[in-house]
Amino acid sequence: MSVTPKASGNGERAVHAACMQRIADDKCRASFGTLFEYFGPRLKSYLKRMGADDAQAEEIVQDVMLTVWRKAGQFDEKQASVSTWIFRIARNRQIDIHRQVTRPDLSPDEPMLQPAAEQQPDETVSRAQVEARVREQLKTLPAEQLELLKASFYEGLSHSEIAATYNLPLGTVKSRIRLAFERLRGKLSGE
C-alpha cells in the first residue's frame, strides 16, 4: 500500500504521523518508503547546509532513517511532528560526528600523558617525614575540627555536604576547617 503525502501542511503532518504509526505497529515498508522518499532529500540538503559533505550527508540520512525504522514506536505525535522528530535525530547525529572528527590527536610526547618521574630517595624520605609531622599535628586538633577536616579531605565532601551530614550551619563548618588549617600552619611552620 503506497501512501502519498498531500501538498497541504496539515495533511502532510497527518500522513507522516499515520506512516509512523504503521511503521511502529506493523513495520509497514510502504509507509517507511513514503517517509524515506519525502525526508531523504530534505535531510541531505539540511545536513549539507550544516557542513556535511555529500557522502557524509548520505551516510547520516541512511543512519537517521534506519533509526526511524527501528524506533518508530518511540515517536509521540503529542510531543513533536514527524518532521521535527526526524530532523532532531539528524541534527544530533551530525553533531556527534562533528565532535568525533574535531577531537584533537594526542601526541605520545604530550607531557600530561607521561608517567610521573620517579622520586629520588631523599625526596621520598623528606615527604615521609613531612607526612609524619602532619599526622602528629592532626592529633593535636580539637575533635570537632579534626572530624570536619577528615570529612572534607578523606571523604571528599563539600562544605555544604558536611553541614548537612553533621547537622551544622555552613558558617560553622567553614570556620572550624579554617581554624584547623591555621592551627596546623602555625605548628608546622614553628617546627
Q: Is the pLDDT of residue 7 over 70?
A: no
pLDDT digits (tens, 9 = 90+) for 18-51: 999 999 999 999 999 999 999 999 999 998 888 8
C-alpha cell at 158: 563539600
| Domains of the chain by start residue, with CATH | 9-102 (1.10.1740.10), 121-190 (1.10.10.10)
Lowest-confidence region among 7-11, 52-56, 75-79, 186-190: 7-11
Residue 97: predicted pLDDT: 82
128 vs 16, 39, 115, 149, CA distance in Å? 71, 68, 21, 21
Indicate the helix (H) or strand (E) that contains 183.
helix 170-190
pTM: 0.50
98 vs 41, 47, 56, CA distance in Å? 21, 12, 11
Which DSSP string corresponds to 106-161?
A: PPTT-GGGSPPPPPPHHHHHHHHHHHHHHHHHHTTS-HHHHHHHHHHHTS---HHH
DSSP label at residue 42: H
Whole-number Å distance between alpha carbons of 46 and 53: 11
Whole-number Å distance between alpha carbons of 42 and 90: 11
Residues of the chain with pLDDT > 70, as a percent, come to 86
Mean pLDDT of 67-72: 93
